Amino acid sequence: MPESISSASEARLSGTRIVTLGIVAIVAILAVAGAVLLFSLPDANAFNAKVERLFVENDDLTSAAEIKLLEILAQSGTAFSEVLAGYRVIIFVLMLFATGLLVASLVFLVTIVAQNRRIAEIERKGIQVKSLAIDREQNAVLLNDMEFKLTAAALETLAVLAEARMDDDVLTGAEIEAVISGRNASDCDEAAGATRIKRLRDALGNQMVAELLIRTVARRGYMLSVDKNSIRMT
């Protein structure tokens, strides 16, 4: 169980890294593309410079009417520059949209991949205990919000194991017996602790299998709670 938990969190960590790198890459690529687009748009002076060159290069363009015509050409180019400014704004807004959409789709993609991996993990590992709550008053334990009734003695054993787990301790049978009976561990029998564990396993295992695998359908009978497509017999 702990293995799968750590691998799941590792997957989440690498997912975060991919998302961060991806977002940085997307923003960088689109910023470069946007800059290239914006700066490759000609500015209004390009028209004026062209008209000026025409004027200088052709010695016979000297009559007042011809010159007036050239000036009008240049002015229409300058008027077009306002349109170009509008294009710049539109390109900028489209770039922002594109960035947002790409970032969102990247995040969704990584989330889906991570979810799939987690689901595959869970399917492989069978039941994965995500929460364990011990209710001493009702002599019950809640595993993933499924309630199982235990005897007081079995619940005591489970509580001792849970406390040891929180301290990352491993207990021998004698130690378990010592904690529950209040005696010194050297005075306790290993077999007594093993018996407690066996009883806990029997009580809990029986109920868990009943809940997860062999269901009792009220007033009708018993049924495997397994998808019928996943059953294969050879």
Partner 1 sequence: MTKIALAFALALASALPAGAACYADYKAKQDDPLRLHYGVIELPDIACGSRSAAEDAARPRLARGGWELLNVVGIFGPEGLDERRESAGEYFLRF
Q: Which is nearer to partner 1, 10 or 71 (CB)?
A: 71
Q: Which is nearer to partner 1, 47 or 148 (CB)?
A: 47
The residues near 80 (Cβ < 8 Å, ≥ 6 apart) are: 44, 47
Least separation in angstroms between residue 64's CB and partner 1 is 5
Adjacent-strand bridge partners of 147: 142
Q: Which is nearer to partner 1, 79 or 120 (CB)?
A: 79
**What's the rounded Cα separation, in Å, for the pair 97 and 104?**
11
Radius of gyration (Cα) for the chain, nearest Å?
38
Q: Terminus-to-terminus CA distance in the chain, angstroms? A: 30
Nearest CA to 83 out of 35, 44, 33 is that of: 44
22-81 binders of partner 1 (CB under 8 A)? 48, 51-52, 55-56, 59, 61-64, 67, 70-71, 74-75, 78
Least separation in angstroms between residue 84's CB and partner 1 is 16
Least separation in angstroms between residue 38's CB and partner 1 is 22
Q: Which is nearer to partner 1, 61 or 119 (CB)?
A: 61
Q: What is the SS3 assignment for 59? A: coil
Least separation in angstroms between residue 14's CB and partner 1 is 57
Least separation in angstroms between residue 42's CB and partner 1 is 15
Q: Which is nearer to partner 1, 55 or 173 (CB)?
A: 55
**What's the rounded Cα separation, in Å, for the pair 71 and 65?**
10
Q: Which is nearer to partner 1, 52 or 147 (CB)?
A: 52
**What's the rounded Cα separation, in Å, for the pair 10 and 18?**
12
Residues 154-183, one symbol each (x = binds partner 1 by CB under 8 A, - = not), give ------------------------------
Torsional sign, CA 14, 18, 20, 21: positive
Count residues near partner 1 (CB under 8 A): 16
Q: Which helix (H) or strand (E) holds 143?
A: strand 140-143
Least separation in angstroms between residue 48's CB and partner 1 is 4
Q: Which is nearer to partner 1, 55 or 164 (CB)?
A: 55
Two tokens, residue 6: 């750590």
Nearest CA to 111 out of 11, 6, 228, 218 is that of: 11
Adjacent-strand bridge partners of 221: 217
Residues 137-156, one symbol each (x = binds partner 1 by CB under 8 A, - = not), give --------------------
Least separation in angstroms between residue 44's CB and partner 1 is 10
Using the CB atoms, write b or e for 188-200: b if 16+ within 10 Å: beeeebeebbeeb
**Residues near partner 1, by CB under 8 A:** 48, 51-52, 55-56, 59, 61-64, 67, 70-71, 74-75, 78
